[in-house]
A and B are shown apart, each in its own frame.
Chain A
C-alpha cells in the first residue's frame, strides 16, 4: 500500500460522517427512551427493578451479537410489513445498528438518573409539594434540574460507549469508523486499523468534552456554557449530515463484499465498471457470508460475488455434491425460483477451501494428501477462518478422511497464515485463490476422495438489479474472463507484506491484465 495514510484520509469524511450520524441518532433515541422510563420508574420500585434489570441484561449481550441479531429480526419484520401494507424497509445497515446501539445507550442514562432521583433530599421533595407545586411542576422544576448533572454524567458514559461500539456496525453493512478497523485487519493494513481506532477515540473524547461542558453549565447554573456545548454538538452532527447530502449517494447500485481480500478487490472491480455507466455506486464491504446472500435476496445489495459450493451448502442447504456443471445449472434455476436472484455467470476461477501446510513439515512427514494427514492429525492443530468449522465441508472432510485434530482454532483470515507460519497451528483451511499460498510457499494437500465441492466464483444479481440492462451490460464482460493465475496474483498484491497495494490498485492491475479495459 503506497500511502495508507493518504488513502485513509480520502475516505474519512464518509466514514466519520456516517459514524457521527449513527452515534448521534442512537444517543438521541437512547435519551428519548430512557428519560420517560426514568420518570415513570422513579417513584415505583415495582417498575424500577424490571426496567433496570432489562437494561443491565441488554448490556451483557456481546455487542456484535446484538447488532447481528437485529438483522434477521428486521428482515422478518420487513417481510411482514411488505405482505400486510406493501411497505419494505432496509434491514441491513443503518437500522439494525441504530436499534442495537440505542439499546446499549439506555443503561448508563437510566442507572445514573435513577440513582440521582433516589438520592434527592426527601425534605426538598416535600417542600416542593409544600410550596404548592403540582407533580408535573415538581418533576420539571425540582427533580429533573437537581438530577441533571448526574443524568448528564450518564449521557457522557453512554456517548463514549455508543461511539466505541458503533465501530462494530461495519459487519452488518453500516459504514462507520469500524470500516478502517475491519478492512485494515483483513488486508493486514495496520495503519488503517490504528487510524480507525484513533479516529473513534478522538471523536469520543471531543463528544465527551462537549457533553462535559453542558454538564458543567447545568451544575454551575451557567446556561450560556450549556448552550454553547449543545450548539457545538448540534453543529457537529449537522456537518456530518451535510456530507452524505453533498455526495448524493442516494439510489444507484450497491456492491457487496464479504470480509476477505479477494472480495474487496472484486467489489472494487465491479464498482468501477458500474460507475463507468454513470450510476452512483455504494460499496458495502466486510459483510458476513450468509448476511451478504440474504441482503442480496432482500434487494439491499445489487450485486456481489459468491462461490458455488458456499451457495449450494450454506444458502440452499443441500447435502451431497453434484458434478461442477450440474451444480452450476441447478444453482441457476434454484436461486431464481426461490429468491429471484440471478446467477449472471462464473468469473472463470475457483476459490475452494484447501488444506495447506508448511512445505518443509509436509515433506519431512511425507504428507501429500488429506488421507496422509489423517495419521498425524491427533498431534496437529488445525486453523480455519471464522466460518470454516461450521460449514458442511468440514464435517464431510472429518467424516470421510477420519480426521481428529488435537485442537481447532479460529482466526481472521489474515491471522490464519501468520498462525501457520509461527507454528501455532500445523494445518490451515486456506483458500485456493489466495496469494499467500505462493508467498508463504505452502503445500496444498490433495483431496483424492473429492470431498471438497467446487467453489466457482459467480456473480449474483439481486431480483431488482437483474432487470437492469445497464448493469448486466457492464458486468457480462467479466464472465469467464478472470483466470485463477490473475486472481491469485491480484490477491497476492494486496496481501503481501512488501510493496503492498490497495484493493483498488490491485483491481486496476487485474482489469488491465485480464484485458477488461
Chain B
C-alpha cells in the first residue's frame, strides 16, 4: 500500500506550491489514475513516490515503511517507472534496456536473459527485436519496451507518467488495454498520471482529480460520472459521458436505418 500524508512541494521557495498538503492512500493491487490540467501538480505528486522529487513537508510510506528510509536507487529498483518520453537508452540494445534494472540489482546473467525474453513476449513484441537498437523501433514499440523495462525487476508498484501521451489513438488504446491486463496478471499496484479523462475512466479502479496542487475529487469512475459538487470536476466527468452518449446514439441511428 502507498500512503501519502500531508505532502507539500514548492519549486520557488514557498511562493507557490506545486503540491499542497496532499494525503492519499493507494491500497495494494489498485489501479489509480491521477488526472488534472497541466500544472495541476499530478506529475510532481507521482515523483514523490519514488523520490525523483523530495517533498518539503509530509511523508510517503510504502507498506508502512517511509520511503526516506531507503536509499533512492534501491527504492526505484523496486518500483517500475514508465513515462511519456519513454527514455530508452539509445546506446543499449532492446535486451539491455529491458534488463537494466535486474542488472543493476545484480541478478545473474541467465536469470536476466530469461526474464527479458518473458517480458518481450508479455508486451507482444517479437524476440528478434531484442538485438535491435531503440532508434530502429516505432514510437508504440518503444513504449512497449519502456513498459517491459519498468516491469523487469518484478516490482509490486508501477508508476506511469502520461505513458501514452505521444502515441496515435489506436496504439494508445491497445497499449492501455495491455497495461490493464498486466496490472491484473502481475497483481500490481499502479498509479498512472494522465490528462485524458476517458483513458482514466476506461483503465482505472479509482480516479483522483487534482487542481492547483490539491486533490479536488477522489472516487471510483462510476461515482464521479454520476456527478460531483465541484462544478469543474463535474464538467470534466461530463465529457466522457457525453462522448459515450453521442457514440451510442450514432450507432442506434444506424441500426434503426438498417
Contacts and interface: CB of A to CB of B under 8 A. Distances in A.
B105 interface: yes
A132 B104 contact: yes
Nearest to B84: A123
Interface string B84-110: 011111110000000011001100000
Interface stretch (B69-77, B192-200, B246-254): B69-77
Given A132-B104, A145-B91, A126 B83 contact: yes
A141 B103 CA distance: 12
Nearest to A135: B73
A142 B90 CA distance: 9
A86 to B, nearest CB: 50
Interface string A122-136: 111011111111100
Contact of B101 (A121, A131, A221): A131
A167 to B, nearest CB: 38
Contacts of A209: none
B149 interface: yes
A502 to B, nearest CB: 56
B31 interface: no
B143 interface: no
Interface in A424-457: none
A132 B90 contact: no
B76 A131 contact: yes
Contacts of A126: 52, 83, 85, 87
B164 interface: no
Given A131-B81, A132-B104, A137-B104, A124 B90 contact: yes
Contact of B73 (A133, A141, A146): A133
A130 B100 contact: no
Contacts of B105: 132
Nearest to A125: B87
A295 to B, nearest CB: 51
B50 interface: yes
B53 to A, nearest CB: 11
Interface string A103-138: 000000000000000000111101111111110010
Counting contact residues on chain B (CB < 8 A from A), the size range is 20 to 34
Per DSSP, are chain A's interface residues mostly helix, strand or loop, or mixed? helix
Given A126-B83, A131-B81, A131-B100, A142 B89 contact: yes
A131 B90 contact: no
A134 B75 CA distance: 11
A121 B87 contact: yes
Contacts of A130: 50, 52, 76, 81, 83, 87
A123 B86 contact: yes
B96 to A, nearest CB: 10
A121 B85 CA distance: 9
Contacts of A121: 85, 87
A134 B104 CA distance: 9
Interface string A142-155: 10011000000000
Contacts of B83: 123, 126-127, 130
A146 to B, nearest CB: 6
A132 B149 contact: no
Nearest to B105: A132
Contacts of A131: 76-77, 81, 100-101, 104, 149
Contacts of A122: 85
Interface in B190-231: none
A228 to B, nearest CB: 20
Contact of A133 (B50, B75, B104, B153): B104
Contacts of B74: 132
Contact of B52 (A123, A124, A129, A221): A129
Given A123-B83, A132-B73, A134-B73, A146 B90 contact: yes
Contacts of B86: 123, 127
A150 to B, nearest CB: 13
B85 A146 contact: no
Contacts of B52: 126, 129-130
B97 to A, nearest CB: 9
A137 B71 CA distance: 14
B87 A132 contact: no
B163 to A, nearest CB: 12
Contacts of B89: 124, 127-128, 141-142
B167 to A, nearest CB: 15
B85 A132 contact: no
A125 B51 CA distance: 15
Interface in A174-211: none
A124 B77 CA distance: 16
Contacts of A137: 73, 104
Contacts of A123: 83, 85-87
Interface string B48-88: 00101000000000000000000011111100010101111
A127 B83 CA distance: 8
Nearest to A148: B91
Contacts of B153: 132
30 contacts: A123-B86, A124-B85, A124-B87, A124-B90, A126-B52, A127-B81, A127-B86, A127-B87, A127-B88, A128-B89, A129-B52, A129-B73, A129-B76, A130-B81, A130-B87, A131-B76, A131-B81, A131-B101, A132-B74, A132-B75, A132-B101, A132-B153, A133-B73, A133-B104, A134-B73, A137-B104, A141-B89, A142-B89, A145-B91, A221-B91
Interface of A: 121-124, 126-134, 137, 141-142, 145-146, 221
Given A123-B87, A133-B104, 15 more contacts: A121-B85, A121-B87, A122-B85, A124-B87, A124-B90, A126-B52, A127-B83, A127-B89, A131-B101, A132-B73, A132-B75, A132-B76, A142-B89, A146-B91, A221-B91
